[in-house]
Amino acid sequence: MELEEGFTRDVRGIGHLGTGDLEVRIASSADVKKAVSLIRRAVEES
C-alpha cells in the first residue's frame, strides 16, 4: 500500500505498542472513513 503523510506510517523495525506493520492516525471523521477499508483488509487477511 502507498503511505499517506500524516495518516499512515510504516512501523516495521521500530519499537511500538500494538501489532502489525502499519500505524493509522485518526484525527477526524474523514480519517475514519479512509481507515474503514484498511480495517476490513486487516481483518480479512488475519
In this prediction, residue 31 carries a pLDDT of 97
Position 3 pLDDT exceeds 90: yes
In the chain, the amino acid numbered 4 is E
| pLDDT single digits (tens) 10-31 | 998 887 777 788 899 999 999 9
Q: Which among 2, 7, 5 has a CA at the least distance from the CA of 28? A: 7
The fraction of the chain above a pLDDT of 90, given in percent, is 63
pLDDT at 5: 96
**Closest among 20, 14, 16 to 39, alpha carbons compared:** 20
CA dihedral 24, 25, 26, 27 (to 10 degrees): -170
Rg value, the chain, Cα: 11
pTM for the structure as a whole = 0.74
Q: Are 21 and 28 in contact (CB under 8 A)?
A: no
The per-residue pLDDT of the chain, averaged, comes to 90
